[in-house]
Amino acid sequence: MTESRVALITGSSSGIGASIARRLAAEGIRVVVNSAHSERAGKALAAELPDAVYVQGDVSDAEDARRIVRTAVEAFGRLDILVNNAGTTRFIPLDDLEGADADAWRAIFDVNVIGAWQMTTAAVPHLRESGAGSIVNISSVSATRALGSSIPYAVSKAALNHMTRLLASQLGPDVRVNAVAPGLIDTPWYDGAEAVWESSREWITDNTPLRRVGTGDDVAGAALYLVNAAYTTGDVLTVDGGRHVV
């Protein structure tokens, strides 16, 4: 019997990451759940899944990133899939240039860009060894459009998109690298920014072909497709209910 694949999903104790963990586990993939802070929720999710472990660690810390990957390989003996889902933002109006200070830029890039890079470089030797490694980066439609929770956040996701393409060009044929770019998704991401969430929900519902905001399951379905899409690399798959076409 062929040993089932192993997926490491960063920032997966809740929201989109948890949805991806559940979807991959439902496909028989063994899962490593990760979070920087929500240890209780992460352990609970791992216990809920059929064959999963939890590892705490902050992807923006280089040693933590290496330890997360090392723990995943020690637990299951291999690593086939890396989902760089861990992310952060600050809700700063796009016209508030002073509000988007250097501290905001550093905090966001440390997780969204450098964190993804550190996880990738730590994971690549194991993904190569698997023979059919796959990396899926969770980006955002704000990477290509003049919108988002803040300018630093949008720029960080644009950087992640380009990182995806550059890595795809260098890691083939052993490792494929793709990204999912969600639109507005109903997750705990907006906790503490309810006014922003409600106005965004109303606008998206009125102005998007599918007439609803997205769910974590919508993004998880796209991630699963890219995990299994053996002839796809360097792609950024938009999941925004069709907003990009109107």
Q: Which of 153, 190, 225, 231 is catalytic?
A: 153
Prior bond of 173 cis (ω within 30°): yes
Q: Write phi, then psi, for 210 (nearest 5 degrees).
A: -85, 0
Give the single-character DSSP code of 111. Answer: I
Burial 31-43 (b: 16+ CB within 10 A, else e): bbbbbbebeebbb
Give the chain's domains with CATH numbers. 6-240 (3.40.50.720)
pLDDT tens by residue, 170-221: 999 999 999 999 998 987 766 556 666 677 778 888 888 999 999 999 999 9
Q: How far apart are CA 195 and CA 209, in angstroms?
A: 23
pLDDT tens by residue, 90-146: 999 999 999 999 999 999 999 999 999 999 999 999 999 999 999 999 999 999 999
Neighbours of 194 (CB within 10 A): 9
pTM here is 0.94
Let me know if 225 is a catalytic residue: no
